[in-house]
Amino acid sequence: MLLRTLLDDPDLRLELLTGAGGLDRVVRWVYTTDLRDPRRYLSGGEVVLTGLMWHESAADSETFVAALVDAGVAGLISGTARLGAAPPDLIEACGRHDLPLIEVPLDVSFAEISDRVVLGVTAERTGMLGRSRRLVADVAEGADLEDVLRSAAAELGIGCWVLSTTGRSIAAASPGGQDVDDLPEPARRTAVRRFVRTERLPTSFTFGDRATTYSVTAAGPDTGSRAAQWCVVLGADHREFSAGQQAVVQELGTAVALLRARLDEGRRVARQGTDMFLRMVLDSSAPPAEIASRLGTLGHDPAVPVWVLACQAGEDAGLAAALLAEIGDELAPTTLIGSADADTVAVLATHSSAQQEIVDALRAKLAAIEPALGKRRLTFGVSGVAPADRLRSTIEEARHARLLAEHQLARETGSRGGVRVVAGDEVSSHALLLAALPDELRSSFHERLLRDLRAYDARHQSDLVHTLWLFLETSGSWAKAAAELHVHVNTLRYRIRRIEEITGKDLASFADRVDLYLALQLG
């Protein structure tokens, strides 16, 4: 499929802004992003759709376009909802880099363009059976995920399932059309683990007393992080498939990817309304009655209590939103997802006050995703359950808990990635305050109080910082601290006097003890 095929489609009414010389580039897939640098999710040949949420200055345009060109994309299509039109600096950047830039009218959705690309790319593939070609055509005509799975299961003669990386069973179908048993939870966990850990897909595994073999493959092109993708599970060994069955499996993945793209587009549109609502909530002037009214408008019963998840996945707000959507679909009857500054937050309805059960379930689900994160840090903060009229404080509780999760993970893993979940009721008061401080202030406070003490230890090969830590951890007990250090109490008293001389603090003073304790916490 060529890029000019999209431009020539009269239903889309696309307008070329620059880059006419690149219209004969081959389009291999479609990718929607609002990241400033999305190149790690691109494999080349994509047409990239963007709502320009990343654009704040001309420098952003250069960064974004250079990243796309470096990844080898076919072209860029920009929306007009946020800025009204493509900014001149974006047009200039695309012109400098010979990247075709196309603008989409406000009333044409990204989902429509994605449909055209998927259908066009699929139609040009060779060696596919007529039935498999109809899977994507069925999607274009309105078929849902269950319809597509039933058609594929009938063609393949085996059971088919679609799973999220959180282990949620999204849809299932059997070859005979009757209800199919859901995959047992251990089998789902194994399938997800193989999906996120195996470098090349499809892969297979054997499970259960009957040694049933299943295969796992990606829904659509296997590009970018798998952390929030869906996977397709098949009730047979893919290595024994005929060429025709392999074609059906490939087309099934394409159809599922198309349906997922439609779902993501709907979620993206819904987040725009939630973003406005969250800005109103975080503005302390909004009265509770107005918050309750807006909650009702967004489909949430204001009489039902809420809890909040705050999430960051590095700079990838799209991944954070996708994971929150999957988690919300499984853990709550209604979920609102939007942005609160740099955090992505989910407001979830619940009739339960068992926060620890929620946190335990969340940690179990996220453990499977960690191998797919690479060096990315995924941090979550979980609030307690509260009435809807206390939503503002509930959001802040979750955000502060997430800040603490980020601080803890950074201290433990350094530049490595990982997952950390912190619940609001797990956070002690001082830790919550420390997590909310900017990095520069935390570092400055630590250095100002402990720099001289650390320098003394380095010069004299002593360990006064550790002595101070143990003394404070034992609540200033001379006997307990001396026993922990394996020294005489008089030796400990001498060390504490030296610490007081070096730091200028009086460890008999409660206020000075607090200062030094907090400085140690920030180290």
pLDDT, tens digit only, all 523 positions of the chain: 899 999 999 989 999 999 999 999 989 888 888 888 888 778 888 999 999 989 999 999 999 999 999 999 999 999 998 899 999 999 999 999 999 999 999 888 888 898 888 777 766 653 444 444 678 778 877 889 999 999 999 989 999 999 999 888 999 998 876 556 678 888 898 999 999 988 888 999 998 777 789 999 998 776 667 888 899 999 999 989 988 888 889 889 888 988 888 888 888 878 888 888 888 888 766 788 888 888 888 888 888 888 999 999 887 888 898 899 988 888 887 889 998 888 999 999 876 666 677 788 888 888 888 888 877 889 999 988 888 888 888 898 898 888 888 887 887 776 677 888 988 777 655 665 666 566 677 788 888 889 999 999 999 999 999 999 999 988 888 988 999 899 999 999 999 999 999 999 999 888 888 888 888 887 6
Which of 397, 428, 459 terminates a domain? The answer is 428
Q: Let me know whether 215 and 301 are in one domain.
A: no
**pLDDT at residue 130, rounded to an integer:** 44
Give the C-alpha separation, 335 to 61, whole Å: 33
Q: Let me know whether 166 and 193 are in one domain.
A: yes
Which of 228, 245, 260 terminates a domain? The answer is 260
**CATH code for position 348:** 3.30.70
- The model carries a pTM of 0.65
Give the C-alpha separation, 300 to 509, whole Å: 51
**Quick one: tokens of 261?**
């793209």
Q: Let me know whether 155 and 251 are in one domain.
A: yes
187 domain residue, yes or no: yes
**pLDDT at residue 286, rounded to an integer:** 74
Which of 394, 428, 462 terminates a domain? The answer is 428
Q: Let me know whether 288 and 387 are in one domain.
A: yes
Q: Let me know whether 423 and 446 are in one domain.
A: no
Q: Let me know whether 288 and 411 are in one domain.
A: yes
Domain that holds residue 497: 439-521
Q: Who's near 48: CB < 8 A, 6+ residues apart? A: 30, 31, 32, 33, 38, 42, 68, 73, 75, 76, 77
Give the C-alpha separation, 28 to 26, whole Å: 6
Q: Let me know whether 401 and 507 are in one domain.
A: no
Q: Let me know whether 111 and 168 are in one domain.
A: no
**CATH code for position 224:** 3.30.450.40
Q: Let me know whether 256 and 177 are in one domain.
A: yes
**CATH code for position 81:** 3.40.1390.20
Q: Let me know whether 207 and 289 are in one domain.
A: no
267 domain residue, yes or no: no
**CATH code for position 503:** 1.10.10.2840
275 domain residue, yes or no: no
**pLDDT at residue 127, rounded to an integer:** 41
Q: Let me know whether 466 and 347 are in one domain.
A: no
Number of domains in the chain: 4
Give the C-alpha separation, 172 to 170, whole Å: 7
Kind of pairing between the strands at 212-218 and 230-234: antiparallel
Q: Let me know whether 495 and 463 are in one domain.
A: yes
100 domain residue, yes or no: yes
**Quick one: tokens of 108?**
């044409």
Phi/psi at 11 (5° precision): -70, -25
Kind of pairing between the strands at 160-164 and 169-173: antiparallel
Give the C-alpha separation, 263 to 480, whole Å: 60
Q: Which of 367, 308, 362, 370 is nearest to 340 (CA)?
A: 308
